[in-house]
Amino acid sequence: MTSNAELQQRRIAAIPRGVANSLPNYAARASNSELWDVEGRRFIDFASGIAVLNVGHCHPKVVAAVNAQLSLLTHAAFQITPYANYIEVAEHLNKMAPGPTPKKTMLFSTGAEAVENAVKIARYHTRRAGVIAFSGAFHGRTLATMTLTGKVQPYKAGFGPLLPSVFHVPFPMAYHGVSSEQSLAAIEHLFKADVDPAQVAALIIEPVQGEGGFYIAPPEFLRALRALCDRHGIMLIIDEIQSGFARTGRMFAIEHAGVEPDLMTVAKSIAGGLPLSAVVGKAEIMDAPPPGGLGGTYAGSPLACAAALAVFEVIASENLLQRSQRIGELLQTRLRTLQQRFPVIGEIRGVGAMVAMELVKNGSAEQPDAELTRALVLAAAAQGLVILSCGVYSNVIRFLSPLTISDALLSEGLDKLEAALGEVTAKR
């Protein structure tokens, strides 16, 4: 039997340290919300491969759709000999996207690629260069998306020079004393001090920050951004890569604010584990770049499109929007009970099943406990639970179980979390 230790040694020798691993357990197989490592150890998965598996690992309908596609057509390059399931995915996304304006969709493979292309489309449409993003944002690791990402370590330091004409403003974080008014004032200040709004192509925001720590943009703030963008002819890009596809109890998190994006980026849970991403936007804006200006060899692979169509069907037939709300309630109720026992839990926040807890010292938001957070991830893994940390201060645990998880497994996972919290706090 291959052991975790042996794979770890080979991994260290063969793969650069730049790609970090959260755990030293090597995944061998998985089903819905459970995963087994190469030594046969079972884990409950509250990470979903970083928010990719809203319909669970290897959902039978996704597996069947991909298997059927596998023997028909695996690649043709949409730019060369186009195929029908790409169009079908685009039609679905155009219908699902919020707002009344007619939409068009372009498919890609990764989240970063979708964000890069959204910026390209916004720039071409407006013939402007500037992009406004938020502190704590995560939009990817390519050169342009790394620039948009609002966290220096470990994402940007040493990788410059960065893309010019990108500006960051504070994201509203009530727990850390940043109000929506302050964020809006920072944008107005930016327009006075740094950049003419007439030179700004786009403003990009995650309605719920993902890697940044599951901070939730208040609906009225998102509506104010919509108005501000309209005032200045700036394209509002909503990044739904982590928050999309029923995670927050709506198909897309922006729906909670009733805002229509100009462009929206989606990826991750769109295709149940296969690499697929998209830019969905107002048709007129999407049509700005000329033929050949957008594309990619693998963009919108037929296999990934088959998986996406199955995912859309599962979200509807298994009522995952409602399920997401229910999972969110169950999580928040249990976490609030845990908060009574463990005062290290400073704040619990969430929308639908996009829930997180922030770990702090002395009950103070200003004293993030990154060390305890790291220890908790390892202690949870020792209990057989995969959890993910995040946050500008690396002190947030985010809960991203599949939305197809049963109540029993969710509760078993939370028992493991409680045991792990007991262990790490007892060592203090």
Ligand X SMILES: Cc1ncc(COP(=O)(O)O)c(C=O)c1O
By the criterion CB under 6 A, which residues form the site for ligand X?
50, 110-112, 115, 138-140, 206, 210-211, 239, 241-242, 267
Rounded to a whole number of angstroms, the minimum distance from the CB of residue 277 to ligand X is 6
Q: Which residues of 98-132 are buried (b: 16+ CB within 10 A; e: fewer)?
A: beeeebbbbbbbbbbbbbbbbbbbbbbbbebbbbb
Q: Which is nearer to ligand X, 338 or 386 (CB)?
A: 386
Rounded to a whole number of angstroms, the minimum distance from the CB of residue 138 to ligand X is 5
Q: Which amino acid is at 316?
A: A
Q: Which is nearer to ligand X, 30 or 112 (CB)?
A: 112
Q: Which is nearer to ligand X, 259 or 424 (CB)?
A: 259
Rounded to a whole number of angstroms, the minimum distance from the CB of residue 334 to ligand X is 25
Residue 23 CA to chain centroid, in angstroms? Answer: 20
Q: Which is nearer to ligand X, 19 or 80 (CB)?
A: 19
Q: Which is nearer to ligand X, 148 or 421 (CB)?
A: 148
Q: Which residues contact 210 (CB under 8 A, 6 or more apart)?
A: 51, 138, 241, 242, 243, 390, 398
Of 271, 150, 147, nearest in space to 211 by CA? 150
Q: Which is nearer to ligand X, 112 or 259 (CB)?
A: 112
Of 123, 125, 119, 170, nearest in space to 140 by CA? 119
Chain residue at closest Cβ approach to ligand X: 111
Taking residue 6's Cβ as centre, other Cβ atoms within 10 Å add up to 12
Rounded to a whole number of angstroms, the minimum distance from the CB of residue 171 to ligand X is 12
Q: Which is nearer to ligand X, 197 or 402 (CB)?
A: 402
Rounded to a whole number of angstroms, the minimum distance from the CB of residue 343 to ligand X is 30
Q: Are 19 and 28 in contact (CB under 8 A)?
A: no
Q: Which is nearer to ligand X, 183 or 265 (CB)?
A: 265
Rounded to a whole number of angstroms, the minimum distance from the CB of residue 327 to ligand X is 19
Rounded to a whole number of angstroms, the minimum distance from the CB of residue 241 to ligand X is 4
- Which structure tokens are listed for 413? 């996972």
Rounded to a whole number of angstroms, the minimum distance from the CB of residue 210 to ligand X is 4
Sheet containing 103-108: give its strands across: 103-108, 277-282, 263-266, 235-239, 200-205, 130-134, 166-169
Phi-psi region of 389 (alpha: psi -120 to 50; beta: other; left: phi over 0): beta
Q: Which is nearer to ligand X, 211 or 260 (CB)?
A: 211
Per DSSP, helices labelled H in 30-81 are 48-51, 60-70
Per DSSP, helices labelled H in 71-218 are 84-96, 111-126, 143-148, 180-193
Q: Are 351 and 216 in contact (CB under 8 A)?
A: yes
Rounded to a whole number of angstroms, the minimum distance from the CB of residue 155 to ligand X is 11
Q: Which amino acid is at 283?
A: A
